[in-house]
Amino acid sequence: MFQIVIPDIHANKTYMESPQPNPIRWQWMYRTKQTLTAQAGVMRCKDFFNDLVAKRHGHDISVYGLTTNNLRFNRYGLYVLLHDVLADTIIANIETAINPQMKKDIGKTIKCFKQSDTQVVIRLPLEVFDSTYRTSLTTMLIRLSNYDVKFDSFNDFYTAKSALNSVEHSMSPAAQKLTKQHGFTLPKDEWYFSSGGFCGSSHKPISFSIIHNNGVTDWARSLNGSFAF
């Protein structure tokens, strides 16, 4: 188990967030030996992870009360403290249903450390933050893993026993088709990809709101449903 340190500045920090269907809460941490120090408050919206993709590509973002200016990654990834989780279930699903596909696609896996029955520390590999496509898919699958359901494979997330089409409604049918086909492999070599020509390789000004909301559903919409990339 890690020693958890929450600086006063992050102890009661809140953000402008919409209600979420799952109780999971996320908190970004920095590891020094066996101590994890919070770098932000507890958040419920996974879209904040898209802001870290911009950070990795040289753009600090300040949106909805959260800023990435002082955020640090550890050498091999970002440590995240997950609150209000079914610890054994979420670890089992990550290791059985997410990691094999991630290993196949990008050669990396998520590391899990159980803190308690309701808290888990994960280390997301740096490659997850190469693109908002990848952060969005990864965090969605982790959230789906926090229901009282065991998954045996990546494809199980797209079956009837998953909350993807019942409780959860944040991934459109087109996004489900896109992510099931591509897994963690980028459908387009961009660190973000939205409509109107906004993408990582364009010369358009960085829009905080576009990047923050640039999840897999926005990717699928912006790709116009075409899978011939």
Summarize pLDDT for 88-133 with one digit per residue, the tens: 999 999 999 999 999 999 999 999 999 999 999 999 999 999 999 9
- pLDDT tens readout for residues 57-83: 999 999 999 999 999 999 999 999 999
Of the candidates 156, 131, 141, 159, the residue with the CA atom closest to the CA atom of residue 219: 131
Q: Which residues, 6+ apart, have CB-to-CB distance to 17 below 8 Å?
A: 43, 44, 45, 64
Residue 225 confidence (pLDDT) above 70: no
Does residue 60 lie within any of the structural domains?
yes
Does residue 229 lie within any of the structural domains?
no
Domain total in the chain: 1
Does residue 111 lie within any of the structural domains?
yes
Query: How many CB atoms sit inside 10 A of residue 79's CB?
Result: 22
pLDDT band for 227, please (50, 70, 90 cuts).
very low
- Token pair, residue 58, equals 């040289």
At 132 the three-state DSSP class reads helix
Query: How many CB atoms sit inside 10 A of residue 137's CB?
Result: 26
Does residue 177 lie within any of the structural domains?
yes
Does residue 227 lie within any of the structural domains?
no
pLDDT band for 226, please (50, 70, 90 cuts).
very low
Does residue 160 lie within any of the structural domains?
yes
Does residue 138 lie within any of the structural domains?
yes
Structural domain of residue 44, as residue ranges? 3-222
Residue 165: its pLDDT value, please? 86
Does residue 146 lie within any of the structural domains?
yes
Can you tell me which residue has the tokens 């963690």?
184
Contact criterion met (CB below 8 Å) for 164 and 158: yes
- pLDDT tens readout for residues 35-50: 999 999 999 999 999 9
How much of the chain, in percent, has pLDDT values that exceed 70?
A: 98
